[in-house]
Amino acid sequence: MAVFRDIVESHRQPDRARQSPKIRDGTRVASEEQDLQLDQDEIRQVQQKHQEEEQRQHQENEQPSVGRDSAASMELYNHLIKLTQMRSQPETSPAALFRFFETNMYPHMRGSLLRQLPNIFRQAAQQLMRSVSLAKQNDFSAAGLPTVAQITQIRRELDLLHVPAFWAPLMVALAAEIVARKSNDSAESKRTQAALIYDLVEAWRMFSLPDIVVADQGALDETPSTEFRMPTPDTSKLEKYARRRSIQRGLACLFPRYAPPQMREVTPALLAMYAILTDANMTPPDAKNQARELLDAVSSILSITNAGRQAVAAMYEEYPALGAYVLSRWPLTGASQGVDVAATSSQTDLANATFSPTASAPSEAKASREARRATLDGIHKQLLEALRARNLQECEAVWERFWAAVSLPDVEGADLMRNSAEIFNTFIMAFTMMRMPNRAISVWNTMTTIAGIQPTLRTWTSLMVGYKRTSNLDGIHAIWAKLVESGIQVDTAVWTARISGLIESGDAAAGVAALEEMQQQWEEWQVLQAAKKATEAAGGNRDSSKSASSSAAPTIKAIKPTIEPVNAAIAGLLRKGNLPAAKKVLAWAGQHGIEPDIITFNTILRPLVRAGADEEVAGVLNIMSQRGINLDEATITILLDGTFGNGALADRSGEEQAEAVKQLLAEIEAAGLDANLQTYAKIIYLLLEADTGKGGGHHASKAVSVVLKRMRQRGLAASEHIYTILAEHYFACNPPNIEAVRSLIERGDPGEASQPSQPLSASSPSAAPLPPLAFDRVFWERVVRGFAQLGDTDSAQRYFVNIADSLSVTSSTLEDLLRALIHNNEWEAAEALVAKIQAQKLLWVQSGNDEATMSSRTVGARQFRHRFWHLAAEHGLLQMEPQQQ
C-alpha cells in the first residue's frame, strides 16, 4: 500500500536508533531496498503529477455550485434541469438522453469551457455517460447510442476518466461481444464484428493519447488514426515486475498518468484487446495495422513480464467465454508473430481455468446510488457538527458535498433531492445563524425552484431558530409576520421558537406577551368553536346544507399553550438573570392549568443549586416527589455539579466528603427518587476528578467507598464505565496504585477506593459492588495504556490479548504500547505488534470493490497518519504489503 511506503521513506534516516531485523540478516536486503525505492519513485511521480493538476485547477478554476454565483449561463442551467427531468421519466431512453446532451450541453462543456463551469455539470455528464455505457453493454447494436470510442473521447474531454475502473467494464464487454460473434458465420454478423473491432481500436486510441491532444479537437483531428503516442517503459521496472510476475504493474507502465493500482480493472480489457487484434482469423489487417503502435507496446511488456494461467482465468469470472478465448491464446507473446496458440492449447489447461458463471451485468450504477443514499446521513451529521462549531467554511464545504450527492441527473438523484427537506431546513438555519441571510435565501430558492420542495412549518421554524441564535429581533418579527400571512397552520414548536427567540434576543416583555397572545388566541378559538356548535345544534338538519356551505372556508386553528413554550420562556428569563419574571410566568402557567414537567423543575433547580440555596433545592425536590415526577439524568447532573463540581469539596477532609455524599444520597432517596448506575458513576467521577494529583490521589477514598457500599447494599453491579473510572484514577495516583488495578481485573474488587494495598473486600466485603460480567474494550485500553506508560510491558501485553483482535482499538493505545516495547528493547514483540495491526488495517481498508466503499477507504486511510505508524517506520518495524498479481 502506497501509504506504508510513504511512511517508511519519510523515516529512512542514515543513523537509526535500531536497524530492521531484515537488515541484520545481511546481503539479501540490497535488492529489496532498490525495488522499494523504485516503487516509491514511481508512486511519487504519479502523485506529484495529480497534486499539481489539482492545485492548478483549484487555484484557477474553482467553481461554485447551485445556490452561489456561477459562470454558467442560465440557458445551460435550464438544459441541466431539463436533463434531470428527462432522467426521472422511465420512458426516456439513454439514447434520447444522449442526443439531448450531445446537442444542447456537450458543445458548451468542451475544452477550456469546462474549466469555467461548476462541478455539477461534469457530475451530470459523468452520470449520463455511465448510464449510456450500461445501455451500450446491454446492446452494442442499439440505435442512437454513441460508439465506445465516442464514449471514451467524451470521458477524456470532460475529465471523467481519472478513475479508469468505471470505464474498464465497457471495454471488457465490448471484447466479449466481439468474441461472441466469432462463431456466427453470417455476413451481417461478420460486418458487425468488424465494425466493433474498429471501434475497439479507436476507443483504445482515445484512451492512450495524451490529455493535450484529446482536449483539443483541432489537434485530435490532425493526429493520424495510427498514432497512439505510447511511452517507452523503464526496463529496470519491467524486470522487477517480471520477477514478481506482476503483469498488472508492467502494463501500467504504458499509461503513466495512472498509478499502478488504478490499472487493475483495466488489465483484463487490455489483454483481451491484444488477443483479439493479434488473431488473424478475426481481425481485419487494416484494423491490426491501425493499432500497430499499441500492439507493439503491449508486446514489449508481455515479452518481459507475464502471469500464470490461473491468474488470467480469475480476471474474467464475469465473462467466462471471453476468459476461455484469451486463455486459449495464452501466452500472448507468440500471438503478435502469427502463432496460433489455440491449436497447441490442451483441454486440460482449459479445464483448470476456474471461470464463474456469474451474471455479467455490472452493478456500477447501483453502487453509485447506494453510496449517495448512504452518504446523506453522514452529510447531515457533518452539517450539524459544523453548525455547533459555527464553522461557515465547513458549512459551505458540506453544501458542496450535499449538492454533489443529490444533483446528478438520474431517478435516484431526483428522489434523494425531493426527500432532503430536513437537510435543506438545516442549511437554512445554519446560514441564518452565521449571519449569512443571502445564503439562507439562496438555499431556500434552490429548495423551492430546483428541488421542488415547498417550505413547510419546519422550514419557517428553522429560520426562526436561526434569527434567535443571532439575537435578530427584527428578523424574528418579520418571519412571524410572513408566516401568518402565508396561512400555514402553526404548531407548538414555532410558537416556542418565537417566544424564546424574543426573550433571548433581549425583548423579554415581547416574549411574555407572545405567550399571552398564544393563550388568548386559543381562548378565542374555543369561543368560536362553541358558538359554531351551538348554531349548528339550533339549526338542525333543516340548515345543515347552509351550515356546511358557510363553514367551507378554511380556518387556521389556534394552538393550545403547553408546558413547552412556558419552559422556553422560563429558561430564557433565567438566563437573562430575571428570576422575578420567571416566577410570574410559572404562576401564570398554573392559573391556566398548565402543569410543570421535569424540564420545568430542572430549569428552576439549576440557578438555585449554583446559588447554594440548599433549603429551596430541598423544597423543589419535595414538590417533584409529591407530583410523582421522577429524577432524570439532567436533574442528577445539576445536583451533582452543584455539590461536587468545580472542586466544591476539594478543601474538605475525607470524612467531610464522605458525609456530603451520604447527605446527598439521603436527600435524593428522601424525595422518593432513585439513583441509578449513571448517578453513582457521575458521583465517583466528580470526586476522583478533583482528587487526582492531590495528596497522592487518595483524598476522596472514603467518599467513594460510601458510593460503592451503597451500590452493594442495593444489589447493583458496577458498570464497565465505573470500573474504567476507577482504573484511570488508580494509575493517576502518586505513586500509582497497581495493586488496586490488579484487584479490579482479577477479582472485580474496586478496593478501598484506591487506598494502596488495601482491597476493600479485606476489611468490609459487603462494601464492594458486584463485579460486571465482562470488561469492555475501553476498560482494557485504559489498563494497557496505564501499564505501558509505567514501562510494565509484561502486564500491558498480557492484558492487550483481550482486545488484540478488535479493529476499534485506538491508535493512541497502540502507540503507547509500541513505545514501551521499543524503550525496553523488546524488538520481537514490537515487530509482532506492528505486523498484526498492519495486517488488520490493510484487510479493512482493502475490503470491498464497489464505488460505495471507495469513500470509506479514503476516510480509513486517514488513520495511517497517526504517530503509531511513523514510530514503527522510524524503527524499521513497518513492512511492505505482499505484492499481488
Q: Is 207 a residue whose pLDDT tops 50?
A: yes
Query: Quick check: is 124 in a domain?
Result: yes
Cα gap 178→541, rounded to integer Å: 81
Q: Is 154 a residue whose pLDDT tops 70?
A: yes
Residue 448 in contact with residue 455, Cβ under 8 Å?
A: yes
The listed range with the strongest mean pLDDT (176-185, 408-417, 640-649) is 176-185
Instruction: Please write the tens of the pLDDT for every residue from 87-115.
Output: 888 889 999 999 999 999 888 888 766 77
Give how many domains the chain has, as a whole number: 5
Cell numbers placing 419: 426527500
Residue 869 in contact with residue 876, Cβ under 8 Å?
A: no
The region of weakest confidence among 145-154, 179-188, 470-479, 662-671 is 662-671
Q: Which helix (H) or strand (E) holds 477?
A: helix 473-486
Q: Is 347 a residue whose pLDDT tops 80?
A: no
Length of the chain: 885
Grid-cell match 476493600, residue found: 760
Q: Which of 321, 352, 383 is the last residue of a domain?
A: 352
Q: Is 830 a residue whose pLDDT tops 80?
A: yes
Residues 601 and 741 in one domain: yes
Query: Is the peptide bond between 164 and the residue preceding it cis, with omega within 30 degrees of 0?
Result: no
The listed range with the strongest mean pLDDT (284-293, 378-387, 737-746) is 284-293
* Rounded mean pLDDT, 760-778: 54
Cα gap 49→47, rounded to integer Å: 5
State residue 110's pLDDT score: 80
State residue 557's pLDDT score: 76
Question: Binning pLDDT at 50, 70 and 90, where does residue 794 land?
Answer: very high
State residue 645's pLDDT score: 63
State residue 789's pLDDT score: 93
State residue 767's pLDDT score: 45
* Rounded mean pLDDT, 740-745: 87
Residues 336 and 218 in one domain: no
Q: Nearest Cα to 406, choosing from 448, 451, 364, 467?
A: 451
Q: What is the CATH number of the domain that holds 416?
A: 1.25.40
Between CA 85 and CA 93, with CA 90 as vertex, the angle to 5 degrees is: 90
Cα gap 304→16, rounded to integer Å: 37
Residue 806 in contact with residue 769, Cβ under 8 Å?
A: no
State residue 858's pLDDT score: 41
* Rounded mean pLDDT, 289-307: 84
Between CA 129 and CA 140, with CA 134 as vertex, the angle to 5 degrees is: 105
Between CA 479 and CA 491, with CA 485 as vertex, the angle to 5 degrees is: 70
The region of weakest confidence among 203-217, 371-385, 828-842 is 371-385
DSSP 8-state class, residue 553: S
State residue 372's pLDDT score: 55
Residue 306 in contact with residue 251, Cβ under 8 Å?
A: no
Which position has the higher pLDDT, 865 or 554? Answer: 865
Residues 401 and 296 in one domain: no
Query: Quick check: is 387 in a domain?
Result: yes
Q: Nearest Cα to 538, choosing from 522, 554, 546?
A: 546
* Rounded mean pLDDT, 468-472: 82
Q: Is 571 a residue whose pLDDT tops 70?
A: yes
Q: Is 817 a residue whose pLDDT tops 70?
A: yes
Residue 687 in contact with residue 641, Cβ under 8 Å?
A: no
Kindly calculate the radius of gyration of the chain based on its CA atoms and give it in whole angstroms. 36
Question: Binning pLDDT at 50, 70 and 90, where does residue 175 land?
Answer: very high
How many C-alpha atoms does 480 have within 13 Å on its Cβ side? 23
Cα gap 218→427, rounded to integer Å: 45
Q: Is 32 a residue whose pLDDT tops 70?
A: no
Residues 644 and 526 in one domain: no
- For residue 291, count CB atoms less than 10 angstroms from its CB and return exposed for 0-12, middle for 13-18, buried for 19 or more: buried
> DSSP letters of 625-657?
HHTTPPP-HHHHHHHHHHHHGGGTTTTS-HHHH
The percentage of residues in the chain with a pLDDT greater than 90, rounded to a whole number, is 19
Residue 645 in contact with residue 637, Cβ under 8 Å?
A: no
Cell numbers placing 213: 491532444
Q: Is 356 a residue whose pLDDT tops 60?
A: no
Q: Is 545 a residue whose pLDDT tops 60?
A: no
Cα gap 581→600, rounded to integer Å: 15
Instruction: Please write the tens of the pLDDT for every residue from 37-57.
Output: 333 344 344 444 444 544 554
State residue 651's pLDDT score: 65
Mean pLDDT of all residues belonging to the chain: 76
Residue 468 in contact with residue 497, Cβ under 8 Å?
A: yes
Residues 626 and 760 in one domain: yes
State residue 844's pLDDT score: 66
Q: Is 542 a residue whose pLDDT tops 70?
A: no
Q: Is 859 a residue whose pLDDT tops 70?
A: no
pTM here is: 0.44
Cell numbers placing 97: 438522453
State residue 786's pLDDT score: 94
Grid-cell match 386553528, residue found: 557
Which position has the higher pLDDT, 587 or 377? Answer: 587
Phi, psi of 110 (to 5 degrees): -85, 155
Q: Is 673 a residue whose pLDDT tops 80?
A: no
Residues 380 and 507 in one domain: yes
Question: Binning pLDDT at 50, 70 and 90, where does residue 692 land?
Answer: low
Cα gap 684→664, rounded to integer Å: 13
* Rounded mean pLDDT, 452-470: 82
Question: Binning pLDDT at 50, 70 and 90, where does residue 467 land?
Answer: confident
Query: Is the peptide bond between 331 and the residue preceding it cis, with omega within 30 degrees of 0?
Result: yes
Residues 54 and 89 in one domain: no
SS3 content of the chain, % helix, strand, coil (to 5): 70, 0, 30
Cα gap 567→573, rounded to integer Å: 10
Beta bridge partners of 717: 770
Residues 766 and 843 in one domain: no
Query: Quick check: is 572 in a domain?
Result: no
- For residue 372, count CB atoms less than 10 angstroms from its CB and return exposed for 0-12, middle for 13-18, buried for 19 or more: buried
Which position has the higher pLDDT, 669 or 492? Answer: 492
Cα gap 451→432, rounded to integer Å: 20
Cell numbers placing 295: 500492439
Q: Nearest Cα to 658, choosing from 626, 597, 705?
A: 705
State residue 309's pLDDT score: 66
Question: Binning pLDDT at 50, 70 and 90, where does residue 212 land?
Answer: confident
Helices (H), ranges, 234-363 = 235-244, 247-252, 267-277, 285-290, 292-302, 309-314, 320-328, 341-344, 347-352
Cα gap 787→738, rounded to integer Å: 9
Q: Nearest Cα to 322, choosing from 381, 372, 279?
A: 279
Query: Quick check: is 437 in a domain?
Result: yes
Residues 204 and 317 in one domain: no
State residue 52's pLDDT score: 54
* Rounded mean pLDDT, 333-341: 36
Range of the domain at 712: 596-775
State residue 206's pLDDT score: 92
Provide the 10 A C-beta neighbour count for residue 745: 19
Q: Is 15 a residue whose pLDDT tops 50?
A: no
Which position has the higher pLDDT, 602 or 463? Answer: 602
State residue 762's pLDDT score: 32
Instruction: Please write the tens of the pLDDT for every residue from 239-255.
Output: 777 666 677 788 888 88
How many C-alpha atoms does 564 have within 13 Å on its Cβ side? 13
Residues 738 and 607 in one domain: yes
Cα gap 5→184, rounded to integer Å: 51
* Rounded mean pLDDT, 798-817: 89
Q: Is 419 a residue whose pLDDT tops 90?
A: no
Q: 854: Cβ–Cβ under 8 A, 6 or more apart, which residues?
A: 371
Q: 578: Cβ–Cβ under 8 A, 6 or more apart, which residues?
A: 508
Cα gap 567→749, rounded to integer Å: 44
Query: Quick check: is 240 in a domain?
Result: yes
The region of weakest confidence among 368-382, 469-483, 515-529, 782-796 is 368-382
Cell numbers placing 368: 453509485
Residue 46 in contact with residue 256, Cβ under 8 Å?
A: yes
Alpha carbon of 797 to those of 732, 742, 777, 802, 822: distances in Å? 20, 14, 15, 9, 13
Which position has the higher pLDDT, 863 or 306? Answer: 306
Instruction: Please write the tens of the pLDDT for every residue from 577-600.
Output: 888 898 899 899 989 999 888 899
Q: Which of 302, 324, 352 is the last residue of a domain?
A: 352
DSSP 8-state class, residue 717: B
Q: Is 860 a residue whose pLDDT tops 60?
A: no
State residue 850's pLDDT score: 40
Residues 284 and 191 in one domain: no
Query: Quick check: is 583 in a domain?
Result: no
Instruction: Please write the tens of the pLDDT for every residue from 389-399.
Output: 888 888 888 88
Residues 819 and 687 in one domain: no
Residue 662 in contact with residue 630, Cβ under 8 Å?
A: no
End-to-end CA distance of the chain: 14
Query: Quick check: is 364 in a domain?
Result: no
Question: Binning pLDDT at 50, 70 and 90, where does residue 518 land?
Answer: very high
Cα gap 620→596, rounded to integer Å: 12
- For residue 743, count CB atoms less than 10 angstroms from its CB and return exposed for 0-12, middle for 13-18, buried for 19 or more: buried
Query: Quick check: is 228 in a domain?
Result: no
State residue 439's pLDDT score: 81
Q: Is 276 a residue whose pLDDT tops 80?
A: yes
The region of weakest confidence among 777-786, 800-809, 816-825 is 800-809
Cell numbers placing 587: 404562576
Which position has the higher pLDDT, 75 or 20? Answer: 75
Q: Is 6 a residue whose pLDDT tops 60?
A: no
* Rounded mean pLDDT, 863-872: 78
Category of 246 on φ-ψ map: left (φ > 0), alpha (ψ -120 to 50) or beta: beta
